[in-house]
Amino acid sequence: MRAITGFSGLILILGILMLVSCAPFQPERIPDAPGPLPGTFAIYNAAVDVTLPWWPSLGSPELNRLIDEALSGSFTLKESWARLRQTEALAIQAGAERFPAVTASGSAESTRGRTRTTSNTSLWRESYLLALAGSYELDFWGRIRSAQEAALLDVSASRADLQTAAMTLTATVADRWLQILSLKRQEKLLREQLQSSQTFLELIELRFRKAMVSALDVYQQKQVVENIRAKIPLIEAETRLLEHELAVLIGRPPRADLELTQAQMPTIGPLPAVGLPADLLAHRPDVREAGLRLRAAGWQVAEARANRLPKLQLGADLQYGPNELDLFFDTWLISLAANLTAPIFDGGRLAAAVDLTRAQEDENLWAYRQAVLTAVKEVEDALESEARQREHIHGLAAVMEAARRGFEEAVQRYRRGLSDYLPVLTQLIAVQDLEQNLIQQQETLVRYRIALHRALGGDWHGMTEPMVPKDQG
């Protein structure tokens, strides 16, 4: 026991000296990691408004219902939740190395036999063995701590990835819903145009029977009617495909009834307060994820550097046998050991590991800067696109007014016999095309607003994992 005490003291003194003389490795600082950023957006309000949820601003209870269902039922989002739980388990494993590992084992054996003597004596023999073993690595250089810090940052990055998935999912659901609504409005318009064109056709046929117009006028109007009729199946097919996609997005079978009854396009209000480009570093979950990956890579470099230095592993064993049954707490067989290992020659493997982690850190740095610039670009694009789209729709409204007046004038001249049917046909096609185009451009305007909300990100930290039914879990 004196030897054990002396040995333990030696180990303790050695550990203290090494802790005093050595400092654990830390990540190296990377100045200006996000890179240069513009001071403001081209169209901006310095205030910040990234409140969630943003979709009620479109004023559609139907859309709110779909997005709520998507956040709780999307399989893609559930995959992200599962990946987050995996990284949390890995972080626990990485942190477990900072504590001693203790294992227990035991065995029991009994034998029975007879001796070859006249007394024919029975023999009974029992043996027991209980053992405890412990091991612990002294983290002189911070290798274990670095691994744990990197793992914890991976957890945060995975959570930001989950938030990015939710951000993308809500924008995608809103976008698909809007496209379906637009297509249904276009289909309704086409059917109205078909009905009015058929009415014109009947009038022309009546005039033809009275020998007031030629057969060419009839054929030209029939072409208009059949052209409209041919467009309707394509609109219906595109609508069904988008409904299938939307159903899968929210976790339903493709042909599920989504109960889409809204008929009017949503009306968007003024631009939200977008803040400054630097605000995106905190408000965009994909940007936060890239920054967290960069920080984790710094700790991985520190771990790889510490891995090149000696390691001191402490071990302790305790054994208890049958001879000490009555002295369980008095008689032990204890052994203490210290194992010092240091790399001498490894063919450059450990040095290459450091170079690898440094290169990975550089990769994450450029990925982070790219994510930052992409986020700024997406906000700029959405702002610019919405502003120019409003101007375009305003111009289309003026064109529409002129086209309708031209059509009315062409019809009046045709009825008075002052012109043939070609001017009427030209103006009719122009008006019908403009009516359909105006619906599409209004859809595009709302899609730019959805893209702006997605580009701004927002506070997704309050997300909670939905409950999984037992028959699915």
CATH number of the domain that residue 325 is part of: 1.20.1600.10
Based on DSSP, count helices (H) and strands (E) in the chain, helices before strands.
9, 4
Please tell me the distance from the alpha carbon of residue 227 to that of residue 232, in angstroms, as a whole number: 9
Q: Which domain holds residue 158?
A: 2-109+125-456
Please tell me the distance from the alpha carbon of residue 28 to that of residue 295, in angstroms, as a whole number: 10
Number of structural domains found in the chain: 1
Low-confidence ranges of the chain (pLDDT < 50): 1-7, 10, 13-14, 16-21, 325-333, 469-473
Please tell me the distance from the alpha carbon of residue 324 to that of residue 320, in angstroms, as a whole number: 7
DSSP 263-318: -SPP---SPPPB--GGGHHHH-HHHHHHHHHHHHHHHHHHHHHHTTS-EEEEEEEE
Give the tokens for residue 303.
């771990």
pLDDT, position 331: 44
pLDDT, position 61: 95
pLDDT, position 471: 46
pLDDT, position 314: 74
pLDDT, position 266: 93
In a domain, 181, yes or no: yes
pLDDT, position 269: 86
pLDDT, position 45: 63
In a domain, 471, yes or no: no
In a domain, 120, yes or no: no
Nearest CA-CA partner of 430 in 414, 447, 409: 409
pLDDT, position 312: 74
In a domain, 114, yes or no: no
Counted residue by residue, the chain has a size of 473
In a domain, 115, yes or no: no
In a domain, 466, yes or no: no
In a domain, 168, yes or no: yes
pLDDT, position 58: 92
Ramachandran angles phi, psi of 150, nearest 5°: -60, -40
Whole-structure pTM value: 0.83
Q: CA-CA distances (angstroms) from residue 242 to 32, 37, 61, 72, 185? A: 44, 38, 19, 20, 14
The distance from CA 18 to its chain's CA centroid, rounded to whole angstroms, is 45
Please tell me the distance from the alpha carbon of residue 373 to that of residue 386, in angstroms, as a whole number: 20
pLDDT, position 161: 93
